[in-house]
Structure 1
Amino acid sequence: MSRPTPPGIAFAVATLGIAVFSCMDALMKGLTIAIGAYNTMLWRSLAGALIGALFHFARGPARPAASTLRLHFHRGLVATAMALLFFWGLARVPMAQAIALTFIAPLIAIFLAGLLLKERIDRRAIVASLIAFAGVLLILAGQARMELGREAFAGAIAILLSAVCYAYNIILMRRQALVADGREVAFYQNVTVGLFLALAAPVLAVVPDAEHAPALLGAAMLATLSLFLLTWAYGRAETSYLAPVEYTAFVWASILGYLVFDERVGPLTVAGALLIAGGCLMAARRKPVPMGNLEGAT
């Protein structure tokens, strides 16, 4: 039996995965503004499938079990809805504000982990959810104060809906990590998302100009790397223990939003993000359970 990975190592790797994912978000925001959410997701997914195939098939992997393929298919469907909602909203909302709204996802994931993965939920989660909800209201109030317009409000609602999908996506990522490695997960997620999006290709697909190719390729590479890192981490620690790493994305979003899109972070957005993060940390605050106690989750 291999030696267990210290939880702190898994936490650090997951944090790096979020940093990589945040850089991908910045590329995707620019692409979505230029060519739309659908075409950005379609071409990034196809590029990601090719990149993923190079790493996945290079080792001559065995064909996944039918149950594992169903899990890949399931997560691909959820990821498609999640990503389209998020990137459509991200094109209309400042990056830091968008990421702050997604902070509600880890809290939802903690409840889902208790329901679906049978992980213990502390009673403080109820109080924490109220604190986090107050943070969401603060962010929306800050948005109204900045007078970003109806488009920004619609974008915020889309991001909140995406956060619900992302919470379930975290649970599916945990399940995948227990039956497949990062290379397999990255390959099949890109393939399934690409296939779902391709269903609308005859009506919506447009071949992007060559000038967008480097950004699309870069986004695909960053997404694949992030998936690999997060899958590795979630295969070695509990969902409720790793969920707080999501909050580090706010720092990256604030920096990248300012440097790339000249976006300012308002005080209500910061206050709201702190409330949501504080609420989620309150709910998740407990010692992680050893991996050996989680075999029944598969």
Structure 2
Amino acid sequence: MPAQITQHRPGLAILLKLLAVSMFVVTSALIKETADQVPPGEAVFFRSIFAIPVILVWLAARGKLRDGLVARNLRGHLARGVLGTTAMGLSFAGLAFLPLPEATAIGYATPIFTVILAAVMLGERIRLFRISAVALGLVGVMIMLWPRLGTSSALQDTATLGALLILAATICRSFVQIHIRQLVQTEDTAAVVFYFSCTATVLALLTAPFGWVMPSGHTLLLLVAVGLIGGIAQILVTSSYRFGPASMLAPFDYASLLAAIVIGYFWFSELPTLVMLAGALLVVAGNGLVIWRERQLGLMNAKARSVSYPKS
């Protein structure tokens, strides 16, 4: 949900984006650390409810508190909440069974699936260039998944379950991206951020009868940290788009893989495989081609508008 650029400060924009990306990886690591003690629904609850105070303080500081509390499309916010909460729950569940770098890399497929869904659901035209980029990305996804699916005993492997859960979360996030494109046409970005956290909190609370536990003091602190850090990361990534265009900042999303490799190694003693890195590289390449094409189209459209409407 890129915000409108208020100042062009690329250095600050990149710094904010990198901080946000790193903090999101930290929240994933914290969720992974608590996954064997806390069910995914309970983790989603803590991630959402403790992000709300952070978001409210941020909105108040920016003078956007009123905008953040105005919901013109309640049904749209609810649909976004259901999709986003489902994606978050699936992702948290998958982290329990999959190495952090691999879970991060599979998540890179979101833009690839978004392009496909945009064509199916929004009727967007996909030309040969983007079709090739999508195909490249999908090949990368299959390469990453193949070691989990390519053996006769794979279905009994918990890592296979983790990979499928992360993949399902990725597809759900693609639906979220499509829905947000429509939602922001009538809703303020602040409202989208705030009401998602509220909706996710309520929906996660509904999972309490299905096995919530009383966390230990240490686990409780980690869960609270997940919410606070996640809320701050959301603010940082939203703020980054105030100082630089989305096309410039998009490639820095992939810094999360480096962060995941470092954290995975030192925290969980995990190392990425060459097959996973090869697949991730193809997914990143496919996404990069889509980003480059979108940037080119944006420049061409801007040039056309400047020719059609010359300054007097």
Residue 308 of structure 2 corresponds to none
Once residues 160 and 48 of structure 2 are traced to their aligned partners in structure 1, the CA distance between those partners, rounded to angstroms, is 27
In 2: Cα distance, 1:249 partner to 1:166 partner: 17
CA distance in 1, matches of 2:74, 2:244: 23
Q: Is 2:112 aligned against 1:94?
A: no
Deviations along 1:210-231, whole A, 9 cap, x unmatched?
Answer: 2212211211111111222233
Match of 1:32 among 35, 42, 46: 35
How far residue 113 of structure 1 moved from its aligned partner, in angstroms, is 5.1
Q: CA deviation at 1:137?
A: 1.9
Contact 1:106–1:243 under 8 Å retained in 2: no
Question: Which one of the candidate residues 198, 207, 212 is aligned to 2:219?
Answer: 212
Q: Quick check: 2:101–2:261 contact (8 Å CA) kept in 1?
A: yes
Report SS of the residue matched to 1:35: coil
Residue 272 (str. 1) matches residue 279 (str. 2): yes
* Map 1:12-27 → 2, pairs under 5 A: 13-27=16-30
State the Cα distance separating 1:204 from its structure 2 match.
Answer: 3.0
Q: TM-score, normalised by structure 2?
A: 0.78
Letter in 2 for 1:138: I
| Residue equivalent to 1:141 | 146
Q: In the alignment, what sits opposite 2:44?
A: 41
Query: What is the DSSP-based 3-state SS (H/G/I as helix, E as strand, rest coil) of the residue aligned with 2:232?
Result: helix
State whether structure 2 residue 65 is matched by structure 1 residue 61: yes
Paired residues, what number? 290
Does 2:79 correspond to 1:79? no
CA contact (8 A) 2:137 2:285 kept: yes
The partner residue of 1:180 within 188, 196, 214 is: 188
**Unpaired runs of 5+ in structure 2?**
303-312
Aligned with 1:265: secondary structure? coil
1:110-160 alpha-carbon deviations (Å, 9 max, x no partner): 344567778775531211122112212221234468998611101111111
User: How far did residue 22 of structure 1 move?
Assistant: 1.1
Deviations 1:222-256 (A, max 9, x none): 11112222333457777676544432221111111
CA distance in 2, matches of 1:43, 1:190: 10
Alignment gaps of 5+ in structure 1: 294-298
Counterpart Cα distance in 2 of 1:190 and 1:238:
25
Q: Cα distance, 1:12 vs. partner?
A: 5.3
Flag the structure with larger Rg: 2
Partner of 1:296: none
- What is the aligned partner in structure 2 of residue 108 from structure 1? 113
Provide closer, same or farther for how the CA distance between residues 204 and 34 of structure 1 changes in structure 2, counting only shifts above 3 A.
closer
The answer as to whether partners of 1:113 and 1:240 remain within 8 angstroms in 2 is no
Residue type at the aligned position of 1:61: L
RMSD: 3.4
Q: Closer, same or farther in 2 for the Cα pair 1:164/1:233, shift >3 Å?
A: farther
- Alpha-carbon separation, structure 2, partners of 1:267 and 1:278: 16
> Structure 2 matches for 1:227-246, cutoff 5 A?
227-233=234-240, 243-246=250-253
